[in-house]
Amino acid sequence: MSVRDLGYRAYEGPRLPASHNTWVMIRHSLRRAWASWLVKLPIFFCLGTTIVLGIWYFAATVFAAQSGSGETFDAAPLVRNLVTAQMWLFLPFITLGAGAGAIAQDAVHRAFQFYFAKPVTPIQYLIGRVSAVAFFSSLVLLIPGILLILITVSYGAPTDEVRLERAGYLLPLLLSTVVLSVVMASVSVGLSSLAKSRALTMSSWILLLVVPHVIAGAISLIAETDWVFFASMPGLLDVVVDALFKSTRDPEAHLEWWHAAPVLAALTGGSLYLAHWRLTRAEVIT
Amino acid sequence: MSQDAEEKAPSIRAVRLSKWYGRVTALQDVSLHLEPGVWGLLGPNGSGKTTFLRLVAGQMRPSLGDVRVCGLRPFGNVDALRRIGLCPEADAMYDDLSALEFVTSMAELSGYSRKESRERAEAALDAFGLKKAMERRVGGYSRGMRQRAKLAQAVVHEPDVLLLDEPLTGTDPTSRAVILEQLAKRAAAGAVVLFSTHVLHEVEALTDRVLLIARGQVVAQGRVHEIRDLLEEHPHHVQVVVDRPRELATAVLGEPGVLGVRFPAAHTVEFETREPDRTYAAIAKKAVEGKFHITSLTSPDATLEALFHYLVERSGRMAGTGADAASGSATPYTGQNLAAPGKATAGAKTSSKEARR
């Protein structure tokens, strides 16, 4: 007797390949992430920085026009500062709400048994979790950034050359967004695999973001060296973003993007490896 | 049926399956073959039930031995995993999702399109009596409803092999009835339904085909009464509440098979016997002849409970004495010597008895 004999609905259609589960996991993780207010609020308020910087830009442009100096306002630092502002104001909340507690929560509820009873690999699971955090992080960086660039292009640009130059900020904005989103999403999700306590992993994430940066800032003031920012993930990200926007830096600064980039790459790779190892060894998938 | 089709038919086959975590042995040398029907996996907490289910569900790689589901190794095997439905013991559902969203996600992970997944999820939830509540958040569900939602995700892709870890834990009578009905229906339709529990009456409600597992070893497999038949050394007890217990004891003690007698209460006599049928007949005969007034006649070990404790104790006694034959895995799997469904095995005793036959 087969399963169909007693009236079960036979499925005649094709089954999607197992690789399709990557997209399913991404969609599922996006829904999970969106459920958190720590994600919703930054998305709703992320345009606040654009409004503030936009007003400041209008005022500066009007002031420059009235003073009759004839100098063109340099909009690059404005967009660059927007990235930094978004990184400190909103990304911590998104990574906290969607990343830093993600695996810990699943571990507490032992939700892995549901996922891995299906044809889902730990890598697909991780891609889903990291992508969700990276997606929402990208939103709070990219949308306000694009709007600000549009403002600077459409208002106060005296020549087409200047407009084109300002439109060109889209590329560093895009690259900065990718770097910041991927690094912060990977590290926060990796950290969330270290313990089963969501409170512990989330507070560790905040400490990891803030404490080394504050200490490094204090030491750099006293010792007048920027090497200590090696210990600060936001500090390293700042260096890379500076390089992408070709920002003018302190001539005394020693830390360059080629110092920071390998460390950030190692941090990202290490976090993902750690999360994968924890999933496969410490949990059910062995 | 061709050999290929036979191998791919719904089944669970384990050959000398072992799993250990570091120095802790969770499962040891388990060999069995389960065909369609409902099977109860019975054992106390920590006996290896969940480990066995996870191995069969492809969530762990065996440390030693082999496990096949429908002829396929389940670990990392997409084809096998699509034929398995697992309902874990953990109450691991996201409270903010509705049951429909949750089960739809699980269906999608089984390879169906979004539309098909939603239809299947609705049908599965409907089958488990959650039609009206499927749009509600799981966080507001009762324990029984959550359990049914978990079961719905396990069957949403119509698996050939259904693995259920403590499926009736904490369920109310309504939920229990729905769950039992659905499991029986799927088993009757040709699926292998293996469910673990440490509550014996849950097994009896669904099936008399059981695997008894203790200390990581299968100590018996088969139907309850067949296992009992095989265990010759397992003494049966017949308890009689009667007006003159000592006189009845004197009358029955001389009957063949009666090993002993004791008086657990004022008007109660308990016989220990190797031949319960003859003893029952003798009690009835003596009751008529001696005009005894019998209030009740029961067997305290007629339930699975007694058998289970007996087998576990027996396994414990023989552990560490080189008598690993106490387990169901004493004889290596060869394809012939393993018990077919409904044919009980109980370790060394089985082998010796089969030999005598």
Specify the pLDDT at position B2. Answer: 57
Whether A1 and chain B come into contact, CB under 8 Å, resolves to yes
What Å distances lie between residue B63 and A102, A116, B51, CA to CA?
30, 19, 12
Task: From chain B, pick out residues whose CB is under 8 angstroms from the CB of A4.
Answer: 189
**Pick from A12-21, A250-259, B227-236: least confident:** B227-236
CB count, 10 Å around CB of A260? 23
- Chain B residue nearest residue A10, CA to CA: B158
Specify the pLDDT at position A188. Answer: 96
Which of A31, A113, A284 is best to mutate for the B interface (most B CBs within 10 A)?
A113
Average pLDDT for B83-96:
84
**Parallel, antiparallel or unpaired: strands B258-265 and B24-34:** unpaired
In a domain, A29, yes or no: yes
- Chain A residue nearest residue B119, CA to CA: A9
Amino acid at B34: L
Specify the pLDDT at position B125. Answer: 94
Q: How many Å lie between the alpha carbon of B88 and the closest alpha carbon of chain A?
A: 7
Whether B51 and chain A come into contact, CB under 8 Å, resolves to no
Please check the confidence at residue B313 and state whether its pLDDT lies above 90: no
Query: B222 or A276, which is more confident?
Result: A276
Specify the pLDDT at position B43. Answer: 79
> B111 and A2 in contact by Cβ < 8 A?
no
Specify the pLDDT at position B85. Answer: 93
**Parallel, antiparallel or unpaired: strands B64-69 and B84-87:** unpaired
Please check the confidence at residue B77 and state whether its pLDDT lies above 50: yes
pTM more than 0.80: no
Specify the pLDDT at position A162. Answer: 85
- Which stretches of B47-151 are assigned E, i.e. beta strand? 64-69, 84-87
Are the C-beta atoms of residues B285 and B258 closer than 8 Å to each other? no
Task: From chain A, pick out residues whose CB is under 8 angstroms from the CB of B24.
Answer: none
Specify the pLDDT at position B325. Answer: 31
Q: Is A169 exposed, middle or buried (0-12, 13-18, 19+ CB in 10 A)?
A: buried
CB count, 10 Å around CB of B306? 17
Average pLDDT for B324-344:
35
> B110 and A118 in contact by Cβ < 8 A?
yes
Please check the confidence at residue A77 and state whether its pLDDT lies above 70: yes
Confidence at B300, pLDDT banded by 50, 70, 90: low
pLDDT digits (tens, 9 = 90+) for B107-150: 999 999 999 999 999 999 999 999 899 999 988 988 888 989 99
Question: Hey, what long-range contacts does A57-66 have (CB within 8 A, 24 or more apart)?
Answer: A57/A148, A57/A151, A57/A152, A57/A155, A57/A156, A58/A155, A58/A156, A61/A155, A61/A156
Query: B264 or B325, which is more confident?
Result: B264
Whether B106 and chain A come into contact, CB under 8 Å, resolves to yes
**Parallel, antiparallel or unpaired: strands B268-273 and B236-242:** antiparallel
> What's the domain count of chain A?
1
Confidence at B329, pLDDT banded by 50, 70, 90: very low
Specify the pLDDT at position B121. Answer: 95
- Region for residue B278 given its phi and psi (left: phi exceeds 0; alpha: psi -120 to 50; beta: otherwise): alpha
Whether A110 and chain B come into contact, CB under 8 Å, resolves to yes
Phi and psi angles of residue B342, each rounded to the nearest 5 degrees, phi first? 85, 0
**Pick from A68-82, A240-254, B61-75, B314-328: least confident:** B314-328
Please check the confidence at residue A9 and state whether its pLDDT lies above 50: no
In a domain, A71, yes or no: yes
Query: A59 or A92, which is more confident?
Result: A92
Task: From chain B, pick out residues whose CB is under 8 angstroms from the CB of A109.
Answer: 90-94
Task: From chain A, pick out residues whose CB is under 8 angstroms from the CB of B20.
Answer: none
Average pLDDT, chain B: 78
Please check the confidence at residue B336 and state whether its pLDDT lies above 70: no
Query: B216 or A170, which is more confident?
Result: A170
Of A8, A15, A116, the CB nearest to B59: A116
Are the C-beta atoms of residues A31 and A135 closer than 8 Å to each other? no
In a domain, A8, yes or no: no
Whether A109 and chain B come into contact, CB under 8 Å, resolves to yes
Task: From chain A, pick out residues whose CB is under 8 angstroms from the CB of B187.
Answer: none
Share of chain B residues as helix, strand and coil, in percent rounded to the nearest 5: 40, 25, 35
pLDDT digits (tens, 9 = 90+) for A217-250: 899 888 888 888 888 999 999 999 999 988 777 7
Specify the pLDDT at position B308. Answer: 63
pLDDT digits (tens, 9 = 90+) for B261-280: 999 888 899 998 877 778 88
Please check the confidence at residue B320 and state whether its pLDDT lies above 60: no
Are the C-beta atoms of residues A59 and A88 closer than 8 Å to each other? no
In a domain, A92, yes or no: yes
Specify the pLDDT at position B316. Answer: 59
Which of B20, B24, B59, B115 is best to mutate for the A interface (most A CBs within 10 A)?
B59
In a domain, A3, yes or no: no
What Å distances lie between residue B188 and A9, B36, B345, CA to CA?
15, 8, 24
Whether B84 and chain A come into contact, CB under 8 Å, resolves to yes
pLDDT digits (tens, 9 = 90+) for B32-75: 888 888 898 887 777 888 899 999 998 888 999 999 999 999 98
Question: Comparing C-alpha atoms, which of A204, A200, A230 is closest to residue A215?
Answer: A230
**Pick from A275-279, B17-21, B172-176: least confident:** B172-176
pLDDT digits (tens, 9 = 90+) for B169-191: 777 778 888 888 888 888 888 88
In a domain, A5, yes or no: no
ipTM for this model: 0.78
Q: Is A234 exposed, middle or buried (0-12, 13-18, 19+ CB in 10 A)?
A: buried
CA distance A276 to A269: 11
Q: Which domain holds residue A27?
A: 19-280
Of A3, A35, A285, the CB nearest to B189: A3
Q: How many Å lie between the alpha carbon of A105 and the closest alpha carbon of chain B?
A: 10
In a domain, A1, yes or no: no
Please check the confidence at residue B152 and state whether its pLDDT lies above 90: yes
Please check the confidence at residue A5 and state whether its pLDDT lies above 50: no
In a domain, A59, yes or no: yes
CA distance B110 to B59: 15
Specify the pLDDT at position B197. Answer: 80
